[in-house]
Amino acid sequence: MRHVLKLKACLSIILLGALAGCLGAPMAPIQELPPPQAPPPVSAGQPDQVILEEALLGRALSSGEVAGFSDRLLVEGNSALNDQKTMARLEILLLKALKAPDKVHRPVILRNLGIIHYHQGKYKKARQELQDSNELNPRDPRTHFYLARLFVQQGEIYQKQGKKKLSRQQFKRANIEMEQARKLAPNNATYKQDLKEILRQEQGK
């Protein structure tokens, strides 16, 4: 009897050891890898003139990228504004972007076309594009600023023609647009300038 009990005890120890070996140490939880980072936009870190050149040669750009680098090229004081070749190339690209289904960046693209046409002396086109842009986004100060410049210029023309009433109307509209630009961007020093002085500086180039 004692022999049988001893045998049972040995078997129990063997079974417990086997069970412990099967279970083993607890497994560490599986760590999920973070999702891969999105690649930077194709225009990241490249000069805008290079982007423009490559885009005209067929490089694909999103409407957002076209809006972004055209904004930089058309910033006040940029020499590109007086470079007819650059403006003509940028116009082609903006017109192409305007046909894209992306509506989010349409106000900026229209505004920038208006800025180009303003500096090219195509004032009728510029006014239409700027007004279309303003309808889509009435809170863009630069759109109001360029509309103000157009109204001042038209007011000067009417004044020279002796059409005083029409001239006053244009100057009034210019002041309204300029006040709106200042309200939306109160810290922008450019919008604090006198519009007629800006026009005289342009005509003196």
Among 27-36, 49-58, 70-79, 128-137, the range of highest mean pLDDT: 128-137
pTM of structure: 0.75
**Full domain range(s) for residue 162:** 140-205
Asked whether residue 9 is assigned to any structural domain, the reply reads no
CA quadruple 138, 143, 145, 150: dihedral positive or negative?
negative
Tally of structural domains, the chain = 2
- Give the model's confidence band at 38: pLDDT under 50 very low, under 70 low, under 90 confident, else very high: very low
Question: Half-sphere exposure of residue 197, counting CA atoms within 13 Å on the CB side?
Answer: 5
Which pLDDT does position 153 carry in this prediction?
A: 93
The mean of the pLDDT values for the chain is 83
Mean pLDDT along residues 23-42:
49
Same domain, 74 and 156: no
- Kindly state whether residues 124 and 153 are assigned to the same domain: no
Q: Could you tell me how far CA 153 lies from the centroid of its own chain?
A: 28
* pLDDT computed for residue 31 by the predictor: 54
Give me the pLDDT at residue 12, please. 56
For the segment 85-94, the average pLDDT, to the nearest whole number, is: 94
* Domain contains 95: yes
